[in-house]
Amino acid sequence: MSIWKFLFNLDERRYWYLRKMPAGPLREYYESTFPTPDTDWRQVEYLALDFETTGLDKDKDEILSIGYVPIRGQSLRLGEADHFLSRPVRAIPESSAVIHGIMDDTASSARPLEEALPRLLKSLESRVLVAHHAAVEYEFLSKACKRIYGYPFIAPVVDTLALEVRIFRSMDKPIRSGDLRLDKARVRYNLPRYPAHNALIDAIAAGELFLAQSTYRKRRKRALRLKDMTVIT
């Protein structure tokens, strides 16, 4: 897997999938090109995304709600934000319900993920995915696409958590436990305190954090490019 990624860059892999992909929302998604890694990061559009899930195991747990907000021209476009629930197949475990507050009866009135996913993929077209600890969103999304469309999901990704680690390292600051949590990271940038565990609020939170982090990475001789920001390109 890693050699595969090493040998082929993201766009090449996109072509690879496109070659054999049947028509459908995922194919439409893959038909739009990814932003190239060498573009100025400010020219790129992003989508800050957050899922609430029934747990953290991508093989067992399911997506409960999806929230996202696009970032264009260094500003969060709240008017284009979206948030919706998706109906899980299994019952929501109590351990997760206490976190995100989504109950079985709320969730049961939502549409299944199959109907929700196209909307999300449409919003992701030509954009870079932004999330805090993006591996969760990325893997759940990939898993869902595999299950529904038979192919995995790939995209350029900015992980605000990974950016935060880089910033800590560049300043030679030791990282203590909890320092990298979304709310703790936001405090450092003087961002307001939001209630956590609502997909849209968390997505906005991650988006704002990204804006903040990017201003702190600006001071360089050459303009920053997309590849300076992303963890998956």
Partner 1 sequence: MTVTIRTDTVDIELLEIRDFLAANHPFDQLPEDALAELPTMLQVRYFRRDTIISETNSLESYLYLIRTGAVEVFNIENEILARLGEGDVFGYRASHRPNQIEHHCTALEDTLIYQLSAQDVDKLCEHHTQFAYFFSSVVGDRLRDAINQATQVTSSQVNLITTPIRELIQRKPVTISPSASIYETARKMSKERVSSILVCAKGQLAGIVTDRDLRNRVVAEALDVNLPITEIMTFNPSSLKDDTFAFQAQLHMARHNIHHLPITHDDGIAGMVTATDLTKHQTTSVVYMVSDIYKQNKIERMQEVANKIPDLLVNMAVAEASADSVGHLITSITDAITSRLLQLAEERLGPPPVRYVWVAAGSQARNEQTAKSDQDNCMIIDDAYDPRIHADYFRELAKFVCDGLNACGYIYCPGEMMAITDKWRQPLTVWKGYFEKWIDQPEPMSLMLTSVFFDMRRVYGSRNLFREIAEYALEKTRGNRIFLAFMAGNALSHQPPIGFFRNFVLIKGGEHNQTFDVKHNGIVPIVDLARVYSLAAGSKAVNTLDRLDVVAEGGEVTSEGAHDLKDALEFICYLRIQHQARLIKAGEPADNFMSPDHLSHFERNHLKDAFSVVRTMQNTLSQRYKM
Q: Which is nearer to partner 1, 5 or 218 (CB)?
A: 218
For the segment 3-62, give every residue that binds partner 1 (CB under 8 A).
Answer: none
9 or 170: whose CB is closer to partner 1? 170
122 lies in the site for partner 1, by CB under 8 A: yes
Check residue 190 for interaction with partner 1 (CB under 8 A). Answer: yes
Cβ atoms of 49 and 130 within 8 Å: the answer is: yes
Site string for partner 1, 65-104 (x = CB under 8 A): --x-----xxxxxxxxxxxx--------------------
The phi, psi pair for 152, rounded to 5°, reads: -75, 165
Sole binder of partner 1 in the list 167, 212, 224, 232 (CB under 8 A): 212
* In the complex, least distance from residue 56 CB atom to partner 1, rounded to whole angstroms: 23
| Cα angle 174, 178, 184; round to 5 | 100
Distance between the two ends of the chain, CA-based, in angstroms?
Answer: 15
Task: Please tell me the distance from the alpha carbon of residue 209 to that of residue 213, in angstroms, as a whole number.
Answer: 6
What are phi and psi for residue 63, nearest 5 degrees?
Answer: -80, 130
Which H, E and C letters describe 47-73, residue by residue? Answer: EEEEEEECCCCCCCCCEEEEEEEEEEC
CB of 122 to partner 1, least distance (A): 6
Number of residues binding to partner 1, judged by CB under 8 A: 33
Q: Does 166 bind partner 1 (CB under 8 A)?
A: no
Minimum distance from residue 229 beta carbon to partner 1 (Å)? 15
Burial class of residue 47, CB neighbours in 10 A (0-12, 13-18, 19+): buried
CA–CA separation, 40 and 218 (whole Å): 11
Using the minimum distance from each CB to partner 1, give the nearer residue, 203 or 226.
203
Q: How far is the CB of 204 from partner 1 (least distance, A)?
A: 7
Nearest of 80, 82, 104, 72 to residue 91 by alpha carbon: 104
Using the rule CB under 8 A, which residue among 61, 62, 164, 208 binds partner 1? 208
Contact set with partner 1 (CB under 8 A): 67, 73-84, 119, 122-123, 189-192, 194-195, 198, 200-201, 204, 207-208, 211-212, 215-216, 218
